[in-house]
Amino acid sequence: MKLRKLKDIPYQIAQILASNEDVVRLIYSDEPSILLTKNQITVGVNDLINDDYIGFYPATESGIKDIERNTFIIINCEDFNLQAADNNVSASGAIYITTDKAHSLLSKGKIRLLELADAIDSALDGQKLTAAGKIILTSINYVVFSDFRSGYRINFRIQDQQTRKAEL
């Protein structure tokens, strides 16, 4: 039961990202001018998940090679600390973002993945989820997934305060 609230974190992150217009534009449209035109894209979180723009599978070369999307996001919880001294359970994880070479450059010399990383940071950092604490983005690292794909790993952590019955 210690993971009760933390199990929902990946989907909650997906919901927040799917509600951010710039995040959706950058993953859903291949147009280099997508941030300049500000075209409205109406798509929900479940559509983005079902169409493989947002996923929850491991970021492995074989998993990424099978995706037909040019730009997409993978959300994973990776570590859970069940024995914290303050009785909180903490989790850390990563949001992977990737695109192919053909879609990496946007208009006016902007780089799609750096714009996406910035939009994700703006959307998520300090957001309160169902867990007791706020999600904290800790770092962004460049990652090479395969011969044909690279991207970034956005690291996060969150804590959940466990409810305990009063001791008499």
CA 12, 62, 79: angle at the middle one, nearest 5?
40
Task: Look at residue 39 in the predicted model and tell me its pLDDT.
Answer: 77
Task: Look at residue 85 in the predicted model and tell me its pLDDT.
Answer: 58
Per residue in 27-44, pLDDT (tens digit) is: 999 999 999 987 788 899
Rounded-to-10 torsion of CA 37, 151, 78, 60: 120
pTM: 0.88
Task: Look at residue 168 in the predicted model and tell me its pLDDT.
Answer: 47
